[in-house]
Amino acid sequence: MPPAITPLITGATLADAPGIAAIYAHHVLHGTASWEIVPPTPDEMAERLAKVLGEGWPWLVARDVDGAMLGYAYAAQFNPRAGYRYACEDSIYLRHDALGRGIGTALLKALIEASEAWGFRQMVAGIAGSEPASVALHARAGFVEVARLRSMGRKHGQWLDVIYMQRALGAGDTTPPLEEP
């Protein structure tokens, strides 16, 4: 097991789009965490980043002591309809050579805190069933499996399940939000 790293976690900026795109491209081309087949260009990733940041939602990056990007995480509204305003879905991707070093744990903890500060009350993770490390990461952060959709996608010659995990943020559903949608 490689040694743990305590990353520096900051808010992402549009200047981070090329680094984010490079990390994501590896997962698109070689893994099943993303079901995209063609990696987005840095410009396409910048558009995605701008959309999240434009809504005020959190997009974080983790860096090592030298400033190299190790991973990123963001939360976006689970569904665009107004009634979902307080529910978000997380995404976390790490540089392929930085796995297993505590970076995902640090990013998810920071993302949960930032999402609570924004006002989200529920967080959902849609995880490919072929990604047990992501399931374990989310379980350690208090997520529980709420649904499993069998053979919903296909990539790299295999059918893939989607596991949905969920956890409450802040007061969750124990109180109404300050503002109704």
Note the pLDDT of residue 4: 87
Q: How far apart are CA 160 and CA 65, in angstroms?
A: 37
Note the pLDDT of residue 89: 98
Write out the two tokens for 9.
């976690």
Inform me whether the pLDDT recorded for 1 exceeds 80.
no
Cα–Cα distance list, 39 to 2, 89, 100, 146 (Å): 28, 20, 24, 29
Q: How far apart are CA 158 and CA 3, in angstroms?
A: 33
pLDDT digits (tens, 9 = 90+) for 130-150: 899 999 999 999 999 999 999
**Tokens 């309809």 belong to residue:** 81
pLDDT digits (tens, 9 = 90+) for 160-176: 999 999 999 999 999 99
Note the pLDDT of residue 130: 83
All domains of the chain, ordered by start, with CATH? 8-168 (3.40.630.30)
pLDDT digits (tens, 9 = 90+) for 8-66: 999 999 999 999 999 999 999 999 999 999 999 999 999 999 999 999 999 999 999 99
Query: What is the end-to-end Cα distance of the chain in Å, rounded?
Result: 46
Residue 162 · residue 129 · CB < 8 Å: yes
Residue 3's pLDDT band (cuts 50, 70, 90) = confident
pLDDT digits (tens, 9 = 90+) for 71-118: 999 999 999 999 999 999 999 999 999 999 999 999 999 999 999 999
